Structure 1
Amino acid sequence: MKALSYEELRALYKLFLYSQDISRSTINTAYVDTFYLWRKESKEMFWNTVNAIDFENEAKGALIKTLSKNSTGNVNSLVNGYLSHLRRFRLFLASNGTAELAVTKQEKNVKSTYTRKKKMDIDVPYPSIEQIEFYLSKWNGLENYHLQEVALNKLFFELCPKNTDVIDILLKASTLNDFYSTNIFSIYPVAKHICSLDIDARLKAGDVTLVGDIQYVTIGETKKNFYSFASKYCSHHNPIDYPIYDSYVDEVLRYFRNHDSFSDFQDSDLKDYVKFKVILIDFRTFYGLDKYNLKQIDQYVWLLGKNYFPKNYGKKKSNGVVSVN
């Protein structure tokens, strides 16, 4: 097995994990965290550690040393989780990979069943530093998202940083509407509404109530709720203070509330931007992810939601207000 590449070994190990009586979320976490020493140190250290005669002490020492260099979390708390993954990997080594053929069919059946599960049955990987690093790396590797963000940064930070000229606002709002497919079919009333609010000082100060002021726009005789768009407009002026609300983010936060009780909130609280930001901060704190800013947390949660939950496009109407997300 030492001759296998990193990806080959992980693929073989994943087959073994499917043969064990463990949850999908544990499989997803083990598939990443078991190989922490390989990623952060070297292939040689990984193999020397898992094959050590005094495994418990040597593995714990190696993990503490590596975690101390690479993590801002509580090392003594984190080390036990990584150690348990290495113990399971040693069981895999003891099996000599014989689970591979027997599990292939089972894995296919599990995957098939998994795709048919309802949202409430989906097992999403537990939030961790490793998971965030994985998804941030994935984000940076998506050329379309990266270049789109570069273009928006140039527009919002260099070409049209202020919000006193309705033409500048119209350019920014139109670009956001197109890039994010926010389905605002008459963008000028939105730009005019934003211009009337005199928002620059509030944006700089990170005034979270501003999103609520921007989101409601009357077009014709209809009051519309552009909540997600409003959060995006503020975020692209001040990304650290204004995380973006999106249906993917909504799904993920509700999922982990239901599974881990990281925060006590009602579903409707996510549609209140002041409460939404507090909930996202609670999420970051609960899972020990304080080394990441809200923009990074937002990117991670968005990609996680995109992977695990379907997107529902369309309009929702409630109490005479048309909502477009």
Structure 2
Amino acid sequence: MIPRVMEEYVNHTKAIRGYFLTDRKLIKFIKNRPGNQDIDVIKEKVMAVADHDRVDYFIMGGFHDHIERLKIDEPLTKGDLSIAIGIAQNGHSGIDNETIAFASRYCAVHAPMFFPLWNKHSLKVIQSYHHKTLLPSDYLEYGELVREIKSKFSMAPLNFFDISKFFWIYQDYLIDYYREKSFDT
């Protein structure tokens, strides 16, 4: 059973999702540049997706070359969450919050219905809801947990950019609510 207030919050987010113009424009920009085989196109995408103050880090770090080597187009269309981990690793064994946030966003702009965004506010909500701590290397589990919430609270029409906004707008309420109550899972 969905708590009435949650239903109201979800309906409000569905009603205002058209105002999330930056996300819509970014998704359209990427859609108009299909494929991840051309290094110049990938570099353009990396610059569009990365936080503006961190573009140099991702370009100088060679993320565009790594994305080209990974051949990610088919896994993106299938919603394979492990591709985000592959991008975040950038040829190394470890990942951190910044690289998984970038990688999940890079994947989500290509397939916004498949790839949950890793960011501080979404992570806080998911951790509160499930009463557990997640690390950047737990992106596969995190993705499944976000998908579970999307399904449980009838958020199907929302893409993961919309759901990230939902978590951002209502994070304080949701975190407090989930700390106090436990839902049937």
| Structure 2: segments with no counterpart, 5+ residues | 176-185
Equivalent in the alignment of 1:194:
67
- AA at the equivalent of 1:149: D
Equivalent in the alignment of 1:239:
112
CA distance, structure 2, for counterparts of residue 178 and residue 285 of structure 1: 29
Equivalent residue runs for 1:192-271 within 5 Å: 192-217=65-90, 225=96, 226-258=99-131, 266-268=132-134, 271=137
Equivalent in the alignment of 1:135:
13
Equivalent in the alignment of 1:273:
139
CA distance, structure 1, for counterparts of residue 35 and residue 129 of structure 2: 38
Matched, 1:157 2:35: no
| Contact kept? 1:248, 1:306, Cα under 8 Å | no
- Kindly state the Cα deviation for residue 302 of structure 1 after the two structures are TM-superposed: 3.2
* TM-score, scaled relative to structure 2: 0.76
| Contact kept? 1:155, 1:161, Cα under 8 Å | no
- Kindly state the Cα deviation for residue 301 of structure 1 after the two structures are TM-superposed: 1.7
- The 3-state SS of whatever aligns with 1:164 is coil
CA distance, structure 2, for counterparts of residue 291 and residue 238 of structure 1: 14
Larger radius of gyration: 1
Equivalent in the alignment of 2:44:
171
* TM-score, scaled relative to structure 1: 0.46
Name whichever structure is richer in strand by fraction.
1
- The C-alpha deviation readout for 1:95-148, integer Å capped at 9, x for no partner, is xxxxxxxxxxxxxxxxxxxxxxxxxxxxxxx5x22111223444533xxx41x2
CA distance, structure 1, for counterparts of residue 128 and residue 94 of structure 2: 31
- Residues 190 and 307 (structure 1 numbering): CA distance in 2 closer, same or farther, change over 3 Å? farther
CA distance, structure 2, for counterparts of residue 274 and residue 250 of structure 1: 13
CA distance, structure 2, for counterparts of residue 197 and residue 281 of structure 1: 25
CA distance, structure 1, for counterparts of residue 155 and residue 15 of structure 2: 18
CA distance, structure 1, for counterparts of residue 56 and residue 95 of structure 2: 10
- Residues 239 and 306 (structure 1 numbering): CA distance in 2 closer, same or farther, change over 3 Å? farther
| Contact kept? 1:211, 1:227, Cα under 8 Å | yes
Equivalent in the alignment of 1:44:
none
- Kindly state the Cα deviation for residue 215 of structure 1 after the two structures are TM-superposed: 0.3
Identity of aligned residues (%): 19
CA distance, structure 2, for counterparts of residue 306 and residue 157 of structure 1: 33
CA distance, structure 2, for counterparts of residue 174 and residue 206 of structure 1: 22
CA distance, structure 1, for counterparts of residue 94 and residue 130 of structure 2: 31
Matched, 1:282 2:148: yes
CA distance, structure 2, for counterparts of residue 184 and residue 191 of structure 1: 12
CA distance, structure 2, for counterparts of residue 171 and residue 164 of structure 1: 12
- Kindly state the Cα deviation for residue 155 of structure 1 after the two structures are TM-superposed: 2.1
| Contact kept? 1:135, 1:304, Cα under 8 Å | no
- Residues 272 and 223 (structure 1 numbering): CA distance in 2 closer, same or farther, change over 3 Å? closer
RMSD: 3.1
Structure number with higher relative contact order (C-alpha < 8 Å, ≥ 6 residues apart): 2
CA distance, structure 2, for counterparts of residue 306 and residue 172 of structure 1: 32
Aligned length: 171
| Contact kept? 1:228, 1:246, Cα under 8 Å | yes
- Kindly state the Cα deviation for residue 297 of structure 1 after the two structures are TM-superposed: 3.1
